């Protein structure tokens, strides 16, 4: 998968993609993330990429031309499955959306700033708008990093344990069950006996039951909360 991120503050994204799982995914050739500085596509002598809003009002608006020039240059190189604009009023990112988007080959992600982008960008250049939640960030970069991370970790071979993305919270409509590691007892606080029993089927049943209890308590809105009683799944 290749992800091209368009930003007016590309430095914000460098450290994120240069570390840990995301860096390894790129080193293994499983994912490629390329961050583009929109100012490089400005024809203005001061490299401006924003201007006052027509009709007045506070706040600057990102101009269409640098964005269009950058997207056109990328599209001349390869076909893109989606051009995504990160926006608080977009479709809410959840695990099913991440699963779907993780199967595409090439994505462009546009990060907004200031008062947002000229509406014609949304009408003519963008194919999808995604929000990471009902709150407003100062720019789309964090949101683009969240979306990219949620996709890249799903690519086969990115996580060491192939099954671990499948057992994440939300993958089966349930939140994840609790996990423990050594020591088996700390300050008198004990790990549940069943996990030390070595009995695989009982451990699996316990984990499923815990996931169900937690989902009903914490996230009754998830589809898994309504699933059948313990021990059947």
Backbone angles phi, psi at 35, to 5 degrees: -100, 130
Nearest to 16 by CA among 134, 3, 120: 3
Distance CA 129, CA 196 (A): 47
H or E stretch covering 231 = none
Of 98, 143, 154, 159, the one binding ligand ADE by CB under 6 A: 143
Nearest to 28 by CA among 176, 173, 153: 153
**Residue with tokens 């423990």, as numbered in its chain:** 180
Q: Select 6 or 159, whichever has its Cβ closest to ligand ADE.
A: 6
Distance CA 37, CA 22 (A): 20
Q: Does 210 bind ligand ADE (CB under 6 A)?
A: no
Separation in Å, CA 60 to CA 87, 88, 176: 16, 17, 43
Q: Select 30 or 137, whichever has its Cβ closest to ligand ADE.
A: 137
Angle at CA of residue 156, ends 142 and 178, nearest 5°:
70
CB of 126 to ligand ADE, least distance (A): 12
Nearest to 214 by CA among 188, 165, 185, 179: 179
CB of 142 to ligand ADE, least distance (A): 8
Of 63, 87, 169, 227, the one binding ligand ADE by CB under 6 A: 87
Of 63, 102, 131, 227, the one binding ligand ADE by CB under 6 A: 131
Q: Does 42 bind ligand ADE (CB under 6 A)?
A: no
Q: Select 1 or 86, whichever has its Cβ closest to ligand ADE.
A: 86
Site string for ligand ADE, 149-178 (x = CB under 6 A): ------------------------------
Q: Does 132 bind ligand ADE (CB under 6 A)?
A: yes
CB of 68 to ligand ADE, least distance (A): 20
CB of 149 to ligand ADE, least distance (A): 14
Binding site for ligand ADE (CB under 6 A): 86-88, 112, 131-133, 135-137, 140, 143
């Amino acid at each position: 998968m290749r992800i091209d991120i368009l930003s007016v503050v590309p430095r914000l994204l460098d450290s994120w993609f240069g570390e840990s799982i995301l860096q390894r995914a790129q080193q293994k050739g499983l994912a490629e993330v390329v961050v583009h500085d929109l100012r490089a596509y400005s024809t203005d002598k001061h490299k401006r990429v924003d201007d006052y809003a027509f009709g007045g009002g506070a706040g600057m608006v990102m101009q269409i031309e640098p964005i269009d020039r950058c997207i056109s240059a990328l599209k001349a190189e390869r076909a893109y499955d989606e051009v995504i604009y990160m926006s608080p009023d977009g479709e809410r990112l959840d695990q099913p959306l991440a699963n779907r988007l993780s199967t595409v080959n090439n994505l462009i992600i546009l990060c907004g700033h200031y008062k947002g982008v000229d509406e014609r960008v949304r009408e003519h250049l963008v194919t999808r708008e995604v929000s990471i939640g009902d709150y407003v960030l100062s720019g789309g970069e964090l949101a683009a990093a969240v979306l990219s991370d949620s996709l890249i970790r799903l690519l086969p071979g990115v996580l060491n344990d192939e099954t671990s993305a499948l057992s994440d919270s939300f993958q089966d409509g349930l939140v994840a069950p609790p996990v423990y590691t050594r020591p088996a007892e700390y300050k008198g606080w004990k790990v549940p006996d069943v996990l030390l029993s070595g009995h695989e089927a009982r451990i699996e049943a316990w984990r499923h039951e815990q996931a169900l209890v937690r989902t009903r308590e914490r996230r009754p809105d998830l589809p898994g909360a309504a699933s059948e009683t313990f021990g059947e799944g």
